Every structure is written in structure tokens, then in C-alpha cells.
Structure 1
């Protein structure tokens, strides 16, 4: 039986990439990671339990490449993991053309370097996928950073934000936006745990203006937009407006669009367009993003359809960071 989904469409380019580092098979890549004391398969499964087999193997291959390259810093390991992810892209697919595998590696690298202060999951509404990604980062990134990375969730709807915060142990922050003065006030705050997860601030906005104000309040310098829920109502307008304001203020902001891609529809109630809305979320992302991924921020099957692997783009950010950090820790422990 094949090791993972669409094995035969991926095998050639994976083996070619592994051969560059003296690894002869995908199974041998797993041995390389195990020898360093890592169980990458389990780690990836722990972040998004509904991910496909190919996601677990893609990160295993990426980790083996990082080890063979002698990456002793998590940021370098993340970029090397991206090479592994890229080798899993099906030739000719959206993910292949956009080099999404390398993009994920580079995003992980950015989050592990000291000059990124705050990373936001910018969502149509707070979701489990954003939470999965945030947990992967919150529990691992700061083990290797000097200055802690702040992680926030910023989505449409205050009730959704509070529910996701409560379920996942984040800190819910309720804000109130004054439309006369443009000021944002904090009116309520509650931490739903006392571990590293409580350091994730979870916000719900009533509209785009409040969403932009939340981005400024937290001084977000890197974000990833959600995909198909409320994209015309919230996350793309927030990212685009914030981008313009940051440029005017001479401050940096790196915007990642989680995807879209051919055949990804916007809900007809967002667009009043039904089938004519195919690809619109993709187009919106292209207008503000510095990097664009492919497929859903949450649904493994949709990212797989785009030719990458079966894992949501948001959880993948957590996977890249978690695996990269464990590689640095293995290096420090003298495991390779």
C-alpha cells in the first residue's frame, strides 16, 4: 500500500530532493529524524488531527533535510523544511506554480527570527484551524527566541472570539471602537488558562475599521488571512487597509494570503454572485499579499486539491514552527 495520498504523483520529485542530501528513500528520511529523537509524524498529527498522511510525511522529509543540512537554528530549519514541503507539490498544480512549500518554510523562518514582533491570524471569524496554528506557535516558538513572539487571533464577531478563546485557553479581549474619534478601548479581558496558550490574545471585531484598529493596537507585523468565510466583509479589507496605513507610516507589514485558488467559491451571501464568485478570494488575496499560499486556511482536502499536502494553511504555520524548534532543541542536545 502507498505510504500516503497521491504517492505516485509525488514520488519522483521527493526522491530527487532527498538524493541531494544523500537520503535514498522516504522511509530513510524517517530514520534520520528518529535517530535525532524526533517523532515528526506524531507532532504534525497532534497539531491538526484531521490532516492527511502526506502532511505527516512531508514534514518528516523536511525535518530530515534540515538535519542533513546541519541546521542548528530553528529559523534555518524552517526554511529547510520548506524544501521538503515543496518536493511534495504536484507538478503543474497551483501550489507548485506558487512555490507554496518554500513559502511556508520562509514564513516559519520569519516567525522564528527576532525582528518579527507580532503574528496575527486574521480570520473571517475565529476558527479552530487558526487556534491549531496559534497553539503550535505559542507552545514552541518562544523556546528559541530571545524576545517572545506575540500571537493574536483577529476575527469578525465578538461571541465567536470568546468561544474560541475559552475552548482553547487563550485570553479573550473585548474591545469597543469609537466611530467618532477612531479610538479603540479595551472593555473586558479574561485569560482562560495560565499556560503559554493564555499569551495568545483573541479579539473579535464588529467591522473592518475595528479590525484595522486591533491590528494597530497589537502592532502586527506579519499576518495570514483566512479564506472563505467573510473575505469580502472582513479579512481582506482589513489586511489591505492596514497594509496601506503601515506603508504610509513607514512601518513594515508582511501579509500572507492563505490561498483561494481555482474553484474556491465565496459564499453567495458574501458576493450575491453564486458561481461567478469562483476565485474571488484568490484575487482579493493577490491585491494585498506579499506571499500567497493555495487552498483553504483550514480544510486539508482543499489544500490537497491545490497540489500541496492535506493540511490547512493555518495549522501548517504551527507545524512548521513546532518541527523547526524541535530540530534546534535536538541540535542543542547533541542528537545530530
Structure 2
């Protein structure tokens, strides 16, 4: 039987969503998906093992919507999953006011679209949350894409990038940036595995200028920022600077700010400000973001506090893509 965090505040919207889509209950959704060979619990916890139960049930609802509609296009499935995530947002919360559930679905749809060729996790340092999201995407997205999606991690610090690459089996790309000539040089590449994980390229930058140069080199069309470590030293600055360059040079670039809301603002208003929060990192996200999520890129409890579900924003990207691909394949 479905039980999860803040269930009493979430159920009215969930029940309305179930009814609108001709679904009986969350338990019935789960049974339908299992009969189709889709185990949302395994998929979601496989991306971020420390996620809350409500994350599993939110993806169960979203994936059931996609399957019930008979959708065979993975991008369309991702958008449908966003409707399920949105139904889990708590009324009056930061997440509801920003339509973060729908935003995650739309981001997943972008990554499954052939128009997006490179996606970047912009981290303050190379983080495990970014790695979890990258693994989730690398494992599943290319099963339904004609052209493989390139996934990179771009963070502050070469040692951190090397460690994350080695632990997760990514390919570490060591670069040097010459400031006077604005030239980025690849010194060496070290793949720490073979297959899907090695396809994820992990960069460590010494500063914002090198971070922007990495974005240009990889021709990034879409990125998501982390919002915990070094948000005012790296990731928001890289996204904003790269966005300006992309606009000036006719390059498509969709920037997602993963954090914001109370608790990550570096400003006195982070206490009880709720949806009205305009703290420093929250404001930086609003400046460059085409979409802004709510809560930590990594910490489930903080995203839960924002009124969405207990799962980090970066891992959620991987979970959305993975569930969308599973739904599309089940309906094929």
C-alpha cells in the first residue's frame, strides 16, 4: 500500500490527477507498470538510493500516465511524467509556484529530443549528485535516441573531477586554459571504464573562464546548475556567461537553475521566506535560468522542504529520463 512523506497534504492533488487520467490508485498504477515490466522503485532508487518514498510514488504516477496514454515517444513520456511529479507538489509551496514538476518533465523531454546533442551538469565541484544524474542518463537515453546524447560534468577543481571520474568510471578530461590567448587545450583523457559510464566526460576547471571555454568546446545546448558548493564562484557564473555568448553567436542554449528557495540563498531572507525568497543564489538562478527548480541539486530533504519530492534535482534528471525510456519501450 502506498505510503509516503507528507501524504495528507499531497493526496488531494494526486487523487485529482489520477481521476483526470483514468487511473484508480497509486497501487493500481504500480501493478499496471509491474505487469509491463517497469519497476519504478528499482529505477528511481537505482539513480539515487537515498531518495524518499514519495519520489518513487511520484515517478510511479508519472510513468503510469505515460503508459496509460500509450505514448511511444520517449520525449512525450517525459512530459507526461512531469504531470505526475507536479501532482506531488504541496499546495502553496515553492515547487508548486514554480511548476517544478512540469519543469523536470520538460527538461527530460529536451534531453530525449534529437535537437539536444550535449547536456552538462554544472557543479560547484564535481559532485556525486551530478554523477548520479549522469549515470541515469547515460544508462538509458541513448536506447531511444538516433544520435547519442553527449553528457559532461563541468566543475571547479581538477582533483575533484579526477576523483569523481575514477570512482564512477567516467572519462576524466584534463585541460589547460591560457588566459592571454583564451585557448583551451586538452592535455589528456583517461577513461576509467568501458561502455556507458566511460561516455560521460568529466572536466575540472580552475576558474570561470576555463569553465566557459569547456562549454564552448563541447557545444553544450542544455545544462543544469548545482546550487550548494561554490554557486557564486563557478556554476551560475559559467551558465550566465555562456548564455550571453550563446545568444550573441546564435547558439541554442537552455539553462536550468536547479537550486533556490529557502535554505540555499546565502542571504538573511533564507529563514521563512518561502516562495518570496530572493536570496543571492536564488537571484543568480533567476538571472540566467530559462527554468528554475527548487531546492538542492543533491539533498533529498531540501527538495522535499521546497514542496516537491525527496530526491536531489540532479538525480531527478536521470530518473525522469530512465522512466520515460522505460515507458516508451513498454508501449512500443
Deviations 1:193-251 (A, max 9, x none): 01111010000000000000000000000000000210110001100000000000011
The match for 2:320 is 320
The match for 2:182 is 182
The match for 2:35 is 35
Matched, 1:23 2:28: no
Distance 2:259 2:233 in 1: 17
SS state at 1:262 partner: coil
Distance 2:169 2:256 in 1: 25
The 5 Å alignment of 1:151-300 reads 151-266=151-266, 275=268, 279-300=279-300
Distance 2:280 2:32 in 1: 42
Distance 2:29 2:61 in 1: 6
The match for 1:50 is 50
The match for 1:88 is 88
- Which stretch shows the higher mean deviation, 26-35 or 244-253? 26-35
Task: Calculate the TM-score normalised by the size of structure 2.
Answer: 0.96
Tell whether the 8 Å contact from 1:228 to 1:265 is kept in structure 2 after alignment. no
Tell whether the 8 Å contact from 1:224 to 1:258 is kept in structure 2 after alignment. yes
In the superposition, relative to structure 1, how do residues 109 and 193 fare at CA in structure 2: closer, same or farther (>3 Å)? same
Deviations 1:151-195 (A, max 9, x none): 000000000000000000000000000011000000121000011
Deviations 1:257-295 (A, max 9, x none): 0021023243xxxxxxx7467721111000000000000
Alpha carbon RMSD of aligned pairs, Å? 1.2
- Which stretch shows the higher mean deviation, 86-95 or 23-32? 23-32
**How far apart are 1:13 and its partner, in Å?**
0.4
Q: 5+ unaligned residues in a row in structure 1: which ranges?
A: 267-273
Distance 2:175 2:242 in 1: 18
Distance 1:276 1:211 in 2: 30
The match for 1:99 is 99
Q: Count residues with an aligned counterpart.
A: 325
The match for 2:275 is none
Tell whether the 8 Å contact from 2:262 to 2:270 is kept in structure 1 after alignment. no
Matched, 1:67 2:93: no
**How far apart are 1:29 and its partner, in Å?**
1.2
Distance 2:156 2:269 in 1: 24
Tell whether the 8 Å contact from 2:184 to 2:210 is kept in structure 1 after alignment. yes
In the superposition, relative to structure 1, how do residues 4 and 139 fare at CA in structure 2: closer, same or farther (>3 Å)? same
Distance 2:172 2:205 in 1: 12
SS state at 1:176 partner: strand
SS state at 1:196 partner: coil
Deviations 1:69-121 (A, max 9, x none): 11111111000000000000000000000000000000000000100010000
SS state at 1:140 partner: helix
Matched, 1:138 2:138: yes
Matched, 1:8 2:8: yes
Q: 5+ unaligned residues in a row in structure 2: which ranges?
A: 272-278
Tell whether the 8 Å contact from 2:98 to 2:293 is kept in structure 1 after alignment. yes
Tell whether the 8 Å contact from 1:136 to 1:321 is kept in structure 2 after alignment. yes
Distance 1:313 1:281 in 2: 16
Distance 2:303 2:119 in 1: 22
**How far apart are 1:314 and its partner, in Å?**
0.1
SS state at 1:232 partner: helix
